Structure formats: C-alpha cells, structure tokens
Structure 1
Amino acid sequence: MSKYRMMFFLFIVFLLCSKMLFAATLFDTQKVSPYVKILLNRLEQKNLTSTDYKEMGLKKSAAGLEIPLILGKNTSESLRRKIQMLGGDVGTESGRFMTVYVPEDRLNELVRLDEVKYVSYFLPAHPALNVSVPVIQANRVHEGRTPLSRPFKGKNIVIGIIDSGVDYSSSDFRNPDGSTRILYIWDQTTSVKTPAHFNYGTEWTSSDINSGRCTEIDGPKNSGHGTHVTGIAAGNGAPEGKYIGVAPEADIIFVKTDFDFNHIIDGAAYVFRHAEDLKKPAVVNLSLGTQQGPHDGTSPAAQLLAAEVNRGKIIVAAASNEGNVNVHTRLSLSNETKATGFVADFNDKHAVNVAVWYSGGAIDIALAGLDTGLNLLGSSAWVRPGNRISDKTFSANGKSYGIYAI
C-alpha cells in the first residue's frame, strides 16, 4: 500500500419514493437501528482490528466481547431478568429506554425479545469545550449585581462532571482547610470497588481522597481535559489567585468516563443519585459530544438523558468546537434524484459514517466514488429502506480506494 495519503470523493444519491409511507415516530420504525446493523455486519465478518474495537467503543474481556446498547422497550419487570439470563447487564433505566450490555453471541436473542421494541447503538463520544467565566458574565453573578439580591457562587449545589478524569490534588478543588471539595469520583476505567447500582468501575469517596487512598488520574487519553473542564465549572482560582470557575463554592462529583455513551448516561444517573441522597440540587456538565443522531432530542440517548432531568436536576452540554467543521448538509427532495458529496481519506484504519435523517415519504440511497479528478471509480446499486449491501469496493487501475456498506 502506498505510504502517502490519497483522497477520493463520495457522492450519496437520494431518490424520493413518494408512494411509500415513512413512519415518523421512533417505535414505528424497524426494530434495529442502522448503526446496530452496521455493527452486526462488522461482527459477522470477524475481521475487526484493535483500532476498530477502539473506534466502535467495543471492549473485550475474558468472557468475550461486550456490546453496549440502548433499548426502547415496553414497561416490563421481566425484561431485566431476561437480559441477565442472556449474560447481560442493565445500566440506567428510565421510562421507555434502558442502557444494557450484552455478550456478542447473545445479541440476536436480545433483539428477538418481545419486550424489546427498538435496539440502538452509539459510537463513543469525544471531548468538547469552549470559553469561560467572563464571556458568559458569570462574574456578575459572583458579585450579586442587579437584579440579583445577593452573590451566588454555587454553595450547597452539586456540580457533576463527566469527562477524562480530574486532578483531585489541585488546590482549585479544595476547601480553605485543605480538605477536598470532591465528594465522589467514579472511575469507569478500572474495577476495584464498584459503586451502588452499577457493577463496573471504581468509586472513591472524599475520605479516600483526603487520606491519599484514591489512585484515579486524569488520563492517559485526553489527559487534562477533565481537570480543565472542572476548573472552569467549579474551580476556586486558588492555584494562581485568579481564573475562578462558574461555581467556585459548589461540591463536586466527578465521573471519569471511557466515553462509552452508555457509561456517560450511567454517569449522569450516578451524580443525581448521590445529590438526591445529599438533598442538594445538581447540575451535570457534559463537555463532550458526537455527530451521531438527529440532534433534536429524539434519539434514545437524548431521551434517556432528558428523563434524568427534573426539578433540581439539570444536564448541560458544551456547544462543541466543531462549528466550522463541514459535516452537515441539507437537501430538499420532491419526486426527484439529488446527490451530495464529501471527501474521504484513503486508509485502512478508519471508517467514515454518514447518517441520513428525513421525514415524509421514503428514500432510496446509492453511493458513487470519484477520484480527485472527479473520474468515476464505481457506484452501488440503489438500496431501498429495510435492505442493505456491504463489503463492496471502489477500485480503479488495480488500486482499492475504499470499502463501503449501506
């Protein structure tokens, strides 16, 4: 394979079929999400590399491969028991949705359960963060300026951070007497003493931190990001005597996540459980995100997070750092064929995922590959809703430019 990077253009072609009806609600669609179908197809090929496992958020253990999923379900007490009988585990459950973890070889059995109405799978999130206190004028709140009746600095509030880790030794997160302001740390990347309600990770208490027993670190991946975020949200400015966070007097509960989306949802539930026990309101900060999903609050992950929100329970998310990244396009179709294109790197390590969201009618999709000179390398057949093709190759002059699936 050539050592230099080649690029080629992909065009997705959409054909609107006005005679077919498209069901607009989640549970009227097919039972398995497109991402689960892609996952099943990749698993069937049995050719996943360590890079694939990492990018897809899959984890191998002595018991085999564990698949993180979000289920849409009927209300049923028996479903949790059936999942456990399959060797799986239930994480967060709220209303019509639950996070679950099932062995690879039991996935098809899970899908066939009558109580399961929809099965979705989310790729790992990635960190995101923007600017700080003066930009949002939080300093005016600290000072109690009009129309506020007094200053507000987060006292008796719990700030929950779900991120890469936290440097709990920093004076930014300590009280004047030197004791920690961090009430709990849940390290989801290790398993020493699991927290209540969950069977993975390691929970450290404020006593563990103050006594030096806590061994959590910020990293190695995204090292420093979680500490940076926590400093902006709740730092007291002690290290430099400035750079004070939004809520410098708040209590802190930190979840060091592996960015598995199920674990992120579990992390929010974890923070709110502890805050409820403390009888304190809580705000969970997510300076992370993903381009997956419609971004309108209707995805299973978004609905599970939204179900955690209530009086005294708020979740906030970063606006992201990707406003200038060209990852979205929009087309209007009316009994016609249209195409949109994007550039994909030629390599053997990464996949390019494209999600199409639409309402009204139904669309057929085809894929065409062009080289940088806009010469056609090949094209797929039309794929109708409910069907798929996989492991097809764009190639020309003896060179492979990529494998695609729809």
Structure 2
Amino acid sequence: MWKYVIIIILIATSISYSKTNLSPFAKELNKQVLELQSLNLAQQEIIQNLQKNFPLKSNIIDTKSAKIQSQITAYASSIIKINSGFDKNKLENLGVKLVRISPSIYTAQVPVLKFPEFCQIAGVDYIETSGLVEMHLDSAENMAKITQVKLGTNNLPQPYTGKGVIVGIIDWGFDYTHPAFYDELGNCRISRVWDQTLDGLPPTPFNYGTEITSVDSLQTIQTDYDQSSHGSHVAGIAAGSGWPTAGLYEGVAPEAEIVMVALRHPRPEFTGYTNAFSDFVDAAKYIFDYAESVGKPAVANLSWGNVMGPKDGNSIITEALEDIVGKGKIFVNSAGNSGNSLVHSQLICSAQDSLNWTYFTYASTINFTPKEIFIDCWGENSKEFKLNLTSIESTSNPVTVCETDFFSSNQDTILTFEMLYKDEDTIRVTAFINQNEYNSRPRILLNIKSPNTHWFKVEVNSQNSNIHLFSSLIKNGNGYTSFFSRLNDTAATPGDAEYTIGDWASGDKLLCIGASVSKETFVNYKNFLYKVGSGLYGDRASFSSVGPSLDGRNKPDIVAPGSIIVSAANYSQTGYGAIPGKQDIVTRMEYYGKTYSYAAFQGTSMSSPVVAGAVALLLEMNPNFTPEELINLLKTTAITDNFTSDTIPNKYWGYGKLNLLGAFGKFLDINSYDLTESLSNVIIYPNPVFSTLSLSQIPEGSVSFEIFDIFGKCVLSVETIHELSLQKIDVSFLPPGVYFVRIGDIVQKFVKM
C-alpha cells in the first residue's frame, strides 16, 4: 500500500474580493495578476505569463485618437452587469474600454495589470472573464423542405433566396476568395468583415481588431486563419453561391448579404484560451448594429459552445445576447456535439446529509503534459453542497491513494490542493467556488492537473438537492472529451449525455439547433465511397447534444440536417488547396487560377447554419419577425415521424425537424405544407449524372414523377413501375444544368453534366 501525503494550501485568505461577484476565470485572473505583481516582475514579463492562460488582447485602439495603445498594454475581455451605483468614469479612468450592450450590461476591455482594481469598482454586480469554447462541427435542403421555398413552388407567392437580408457568421477559418462567396458575375457577396485578431482600425464602438470593407483588401488578406475551414464551411451552408457547383452545393440563402466576424484564432505565443465570451457578444452586436444602419433584417449564426455553464437561460452571456436580439434580429446557435459522450453526471442527494459519487479520468486523446481536466459542478438555487476529490489506485482497485477534505459551496473563494500520488507525481487541484453564481446557483469549478493519467472519484454531500457535473477541456478551440463512469462500483452514478446543450443555447430568445442525418455516405473527388457512422438517414445524429436545459425547459428547439453536409473549404488550409490531400473533399473547381475545394463535414456546426439560412428566407418574407414569433413558428411546424417519436417536444429532438415549407405555409395561411414526412426517402444517383439517373426507395403508391428545370418548367414526366424498387431514367437529352425530381411532395435535386 502506497503512503500518501496531502498538502492543502488555502490561498483564499490572501485574495481580496469586493462585493462584486466574479466568475471562476475572473477570480483566477485576479489571483494571477496579484501573485505576479508581488514578484516585482517587469510589466511585459507579467503579461507574457498571463498570455499562457488567458485570451488577452493587445493593440487596443483608442477610439478618440484612433491610435494603437502601447504594445506593453494587454487587455482582458469581460462582460459586466452593473447596478444603480455604477460610475462609468471610474472604469474609464482605469483605461477600461466599454461597449454598452443593454442598460445593465457592458462588454469591457480591461488593462490586465489594472484588473484587481477593476474588480474593486463599486456599482458592478458581476464580472465574467474568459471562457472555454469549441467548434461544433445537397440532400439537406430536401429533408428540411427548403428546396420548394427557394423555387417558389407549392402555392408560394414567389421564390425566396435571402434577398435584402444579412446573414452574419461568427467563426474563424474564412476564405475571403472562395467562389462560394462571389456571384456568377464575380461580385463579392461579403460586404464586410470584422477580424478580431488583426491590428488596424476597428468598427465603432469597438476598440480591437480591424474592419475590412474593401473587396481588394479581402482578396489581399485572403484568410483570417489558414489552419481551419470551419468558418467558410458554415458560411457556405447558410449563404453560399450555387453557380460554382451548378447549384449542387448552394447555400440555403444564396442571395443574402454576408457579414463575417473572424474570431481570434490560436496563436503560437500562448497555449491557453483563445476567445472570451465577450467576443461573441460584441460580434452579435456588430452584425445587428450594421443591419440596423442599412435598414435590413439579419440573422447571426454561432457554431461554437461547450458543455460547461449553468444552461438555465440565466447566465450573463445569455442575458447579453437576449438583450441584443429583437425584431428582425435573430440569433442561431448550435446545440453541441456531446450527444454520444458521457460528459454529464447527475448526483442526486435525496435525504439528510445524503452522499453520492461518480468516477472520471482525463481524456484519452490528451497528448500534452500536464494532463488536465475541468469538472464544472452546479447545485440547485441557494442549496449548499460539499465536495471531496479522491485519486484512486486503478479502475479495478478503486481504493484511495490521496484525497482532499470535503469543502463547501457556501463560500466565495479559490482553494488550491496539492496531492502527492506516488513518488514525485503531484496532482494539483484548483477549486473555484461561488456561493451564488450569476443565476443564484452554487458552483464549484475544479481544475485538475498532473504529470500522469489518473482516475478520480468525486463525492458530493447535500440535502434534497441535485448536483450536475460536467467534464470538459478545451485548448485552442479543440475539445478533449472525458467521461464519467461507475466503474465496477454499482453504488456509483454513471455518466450520460443529458443536459449537454451549450449554455447560451438555453435562452428562450436564442435558437438552439440539434442535428439529424441527411446522408449516410458520400463519394469523394477520387470516387472513394465513405460511410459515416452518425446514424440512419432521417434519424438524430448520434453526436447531437441532448437537453433539456438545467431548469427543465425543452432544448434543443428543433433539429436540422448536420450529417453529412458539403460546403466550401479554404484554399489556404493544407490539403484543400493547390495540393489536395483531404479525404473529405467531394469536388474541386477552378476559379481565377486557383483550384478550390468543397468538403463534407458533420456536426451541429453544420445544422445551425442550415437553420440560419432558413431564417434568412423567412426574414425576406417578413423582416419584422421577433425572436419569439419566429422560434414559435419553427416549433409548431416542425416535422415529426417515427424517428422523433410521438412524445414531442423531447430532449433529443426538441419540437422535431426543420420544415421550412411548413413555416411559410402556416404564416402565409396557404395550403402548401404537410407536417409529416414519408419514411421512404427517394435516393437518386449518380449525382452529378451524365446519361442515366437511378431512383430507389420510391414511396409506395407513387404512379409518376416529374423533372423540372430551375425555372419550374416540367421537362419530363415518367410513369413508375411499382414492381421495381429501382427506376432508371434516360436524361442524356437534357442540357447541362440543375434539375429537380418531384414524386408527390418529395423533391430531390440533381445536376446534369
């Protein structure tokens, strides 16, 4: 039996807090600034140390003088909630740059060396700093009944393509030169970009990054980040042009105006966090402010998030985003990709001093040292819980090697524990404790690090309370998935995938989108067939995060196609440009001397922009939709079938599958929609086709089908042969172009070469 030593260092007594409530990362930043300043280090050395762990900004613009601040200054991005005692001048005297989001919420760029003073300013109720976020990574339009809306069929008064609507994409990894963002005449459809990383002249009223409105500048810069295609793929799904692929991989709103906000991307000078939550709030405000200035409705899409946070609609970022949206201003967010990950465990303490526990370890994909994990623990409103962390011998022998004492959620402090496992293997634990977080729930956020991999047991003690635990680790935008387990301990609580939607996706005025399977396979540009194991056609994608919200409301709101979706990939990213190497490339095309790729991705990152594009078409029809009206319309017209089950809404599907034609039909009060979808979905191949088109899985009872060109003209009407499960049609006589096959209310698109 190994002996163990427990060294517990309580640093809370050395940290001074005002009455302002600080988020865990705000507490940690405050602590680190004070500790580094106590060492009498040079200012630049302090900043370099802080940049390893926090997403600091440099080169903030003084908007009054339009000059870049001194290079020695770095800024921490924050969101603050104020009260009637707030004095804006006191913060500005510290050098804090403020942007008003609503009467009680500001985003703030705080000189990091002044952060402890910032935390002491009266009139500020809450400070949220930093955050952990990750990216939530054809036939989709047919499944969601988008094609009919774009064509203007089924008794609709006109085709809808997003004209007069702004589609804003908040992301990174954009290719400003990709043909998906130009029309057939070569006109750039990107009206402006706010790059939050580049130094330059930022948009008003912000004071970081640079705004790009010139096409020449976009073509010179080319990309914000050359190691990702996430932003281009998302933007292409929502609003990409169809002409480069003869309409086959056209975005949902191909005539919408595109606005991009390029988030800060990973940089070599630090290995910590990339984005602050305030960056997302600023991005949404930028999009909606611009839309208002030009008199257009807008939809903003964010395909980022993580499993941490309260998820009850009451966090400061949720409140800030809900203050920004309004009539003609709609925000769409991906639900997350944790639907098949056991990253949640609900520890139920039902009786007096009831004890419950679960086990966890680091993510197996971590290839760096030290190993690390966050465990985010949320209690019920104003109910105390106590927590203990134990390192065990092994999964087969879960005996204690070293442990902490139980500590209470009824305090506002940071506790640090150092546990000696064996020899020199020290486990370092930091517990960020908030007695009453922004939403009045007690919270303990654990950060655990050690040189080697270990299994841990976490115990909670409470009375008539449910404690929700979430495991997460995100570095440079990449998520590392761990899981909870009962191991061989039948008394322990296992892990599950419930309550894994993103925090700000839980807001009532913010659309939360899960993913369904619109393709099971794809053929890449080398004619290799790939099958993706995310589920059956029409089913929920296995990765799609599960609700409900922590306070029991139904989330996601709806689901949309998110596996497999083909869209733009960046020329600058290795494997998608001049020398192709990525196996998910589906097709390539020449444009102004470069060969650009379209690739197949999957994730709720893809389903969210499908809905964002659909929202743009709805806003073209009615630019005065409020978030509540539009969300209710999508919910009440959603498709239900054998996959979604009869019990709707539920935690997997929300209210069902996106049915854009149904939404149009209900709002316009015309007989153009059907709230059910046939289980037999026609499959057409090859696509594109040269001579013979094959159709399979034709619905029973179909007696004929028709082929239409893009102008709605019927070019072929064919009788079906019921005895055959496969129909072959000669289309060699058709001119090259985009066509649509209609069998009953099922429409499929194909390209004739």
TM-score normalised by the chain length of structure 1: 0.83
Q: 1:38 to 1:364 in 2, by over 3 A?
A: farther
- Partner secondary structure for residue 113 of structure 1: coil
Is 1:69 equivalent to 2:93 in the alignment? no
User: Out of 209, 215, 237, which is 2:215 matched to?
Assistant: 209
Tell me the distance in 1 between the aligned counterparts of 2:212 and 2:422: 58
> What is the Cα deviation at residue 348 of structure 1?
3.4
Taking the TM superposition and a 5 Å limit, the aligned residue runs for 1:344-359 are 344=362, 348-349=369-370, 351-359=372-380
Cα deviation per residue 1:65-106 (whole Å; 9 max; x = unaligned)?
A: 422221111156732x22221122113522322211212332
Alpha-carbon RMSD across the aligned residues, in angstroms, is 2.8
Q: CA deviation at 1:396?
A: 2.6
Distance in 2 between residues matched to 1:301 and 1:337, nearest whole Å: 33
Q: CA deviation at 1:220?
A: 3.2
Q: Contact between 1:157 and 1:281, CA under 8 Å: does it hold in 2?
A: yes
Report the residue type matching 1:239 in the other structure: P
Kept in 2: contact 1:70–1:300 (CA 8 A): yes
For 2:291 and 2:417, the matched residues in 1 are separated by 51
Contact 1:133 1:245 in 2 (8 A): no
Task: Name the aligned partner's letter for residue 391 of structure 2.
Answer: G
Q: Which residue of 2 aligns with 1:21?
A: none
Q: Aligned in 2, Cα 1:193/1:33: closer, same or farther, shift over 3 Å?
A: closer
Report what 1:246 is aligned to: 252
Aligned-pair CA distance for 1:390: 3.6
Whether contact under 8 Å (1:55, 1:123) holds in the other structure is no
Select the residue among 144, 148, 157 that pairs with 1:136.
Answer: 144
- Greater Cα offset, 136-145 or 40-49: 40-49
Question: Matched residues in 2 for 1:67 and 1:175: separation?
Answer: 40
Shift of 1:59: 4.4
Q: What is the alpha-carbon distance in structure 1 between the residues aligned to residue 93 and residue 47 of structure 2?
A: 29
Query: Displacement of 1:157 after TM fit?
Result: 0.5
Corresponding letter in the other structure for 1:386: Q
How far residue 64 of structure 1 moved from its aligned partner, in angstroms, is: 4.1
Q: Distance in 2 between matches of 1:349 and 1:95?
A: 43
Structure 1 residue matching 2:208: 3-state secondary structure: coil
1:102 and 2:87 matched: no
**AA in 2 matched with 1:403:** R
Q: Which moved more, 1:143-152 or 1:50-59?
A: 50-59
Aligned partners of 1:341 and 1:180: how far apart in 2? 53
- Are the equivalent residues in 1 in contact too, given 2:32–2:50 (CA < 8 A)? no
**Number of the residue aligned with 2:387:** 365
Amino acid at match of 1:256: A
Amino acid at match of 2:305: G
Change (3 A) 1:53 1:83: same
Amino acid at match of 1:337: L
Q: Which amino acid aligns with 1:296?
A: D
| 1:400 partner amino acid | D
Distance 1:36 1:240 in 2: 48
Matches within 5 A, 1:367-386: 367-372=389-394, 373-384=397-408, 385-386=410-411
**Counterpart in the other structure of 2:727:** none
Q: How many Å separate the matches in 1 of 2:76 and 2:194?
A: 21
Report 1:183-332 matches (<5 A).
Answer: 183-205=191-213, 208-210=214-216, 214-221=220-227, 223-241=228-246, 242-258=248-264, 259-332=275-348
2 CA distance for matches of 1:194 and 1:158? Answer: 20
Q: Confirm or deny that 1:339 pairs with 2:357.
A: yes
**What SS does the aligned partner of 1:239 have?**
helix
Please give the alpha-carbon distance, in whole angstroms, between the structure 2 residues aligned to 1:191 and 1:337: 53
Name the residue aligned to 2:427. Answer: 402
Q: Deviations over 1:35-61 (max 9, x none)?
A: 322333444554999798455423467
Q: CA deviation at 1:363?
A: 1.1
> What is the number of residues matched between the two proteins?
373
Distance 2:386 2:135 in 1: 34
Please say which of residues 284-293 and 303-312 is displaced more in the overlay.
Answer: 284-293
Q: Aligned letter for 1:250?
A: A
Q: Distance in 2 between matches of 1:371 and 1:249?
A: 60
2:421 touches 2:427 (CA, 8 Å); kept in 1? no
Q: In 2 relative to 1, CA 160–51 (structure 1 residues): closer, same or farther, beyond 3 Å?
A: farther
Distance in 1 separating the partners of 2:372 and 2:28: 11
Aligned partner (choices 32, 42, 62) of residue 22 of structure 2: 32
Out of 187-196 and 208-217, give the one that drifted further.
208-217
Q: Displacement of 1:211 after TM fit?
A: 6.8
Q: Distance in 2 between matches of 1:159 and 1:266?
A: 16
Whether contact under 8 Å (2:176, 2:218) holds in the other structure is no
Q: Secondary structure of the equivalent of 2:75? A: strand
1:197 is displaced (CA, Å) by 0.8
DSSP-derived class of the 1:229 partner: helix
Any conservation in 1 of the 2:212–2:218 contact (CA below 8 Å)?
no
Using a 3 Å threshold, how does the CA distance of structure 1 residues 246 and 401 change in structure 2: closer, same or farther?
farther
Structure 1 residue runs without a partner (length 5+): 1-28
Distance (whole Å) between structure 1 residues aligned to residue 304 and residue 114 of structure 2: 31
Q: Deviations over 1:227-255 (max 9, x none)?
A: 11100010022222221111111000111
Q: Which amino acid aligns with 1:166?
A: F
Which TM-score applies when normalising by structure 2? 0.46
Deviations 1:89-138 (A, max 9, x none): 11352232221121233222222222101112231422113x95444332
Conserved? CA contact 1:383–1:389, under 8 Å: no
CA distance in 2, matches of 1:38, 1:147: 59
Partner amino acid, structure 2, of 1:73: I
Change over 3 Å in CA distance of 1:55–1:84 after alignment to 2: same
Q: Do 1:125 and 1:290's aligned partners in 2 also have CA atoms closer than 8 Å?
A: yes
Per-residue displacement from partner, 1:10-32 (whole Å, max 9, x unpaired)? Answer: xxxxxxxxxxxxxxxxxxx9712
What amino acid does structure 2 have at the position aligned with 1:219? Y
| Cα deviations by residue, 1:288-317 (Å, 9 ceiling, x for unpaired) | 112231122211011111111100000001
Is 1:57 matched with 2:55? yes
SS at structure 2 position matched to 1:298:
coil
Secondary structure in 1 aligned to 2:418?
strand
Q: 1:57 to 1:325 in 2, by over 3 A?
A: farther
Amino acid at match of 2:406: W
Question: In structure 1, what is the Cα distance between the partners aligned to 2:203 and 2:94?
Answer: 23
Q: Tell me: higher relative CO, structure 1 or 2? Use CA pairs within 8 A at least 6 residues apart.
A: 1
**Is structure 2 residue 175 aligned with structure 1 residue 167?**
yes
Question: Does the 8 Å CA contact 1:393/1:400 hold for their aligned counterparts?
Answer: no
- 1:78 equivalent among 84, 87, 108: 87
The structure that is helix-richer by fraction is: 1
Say if 2:177 and 2:222, in contact at 8 Å, map to a contact too. Answer: no
Q: Which moved more, 1:241-250 or 1:389-398?
A: 389-398
* Cα distance change on mapping 1:155 and 1:387 into 2, 3 Å: closer
Q: What amino acid sits opposite 2:26 in the alignment? A: V
- Note the C-alpha offset of 1:147: 6.2
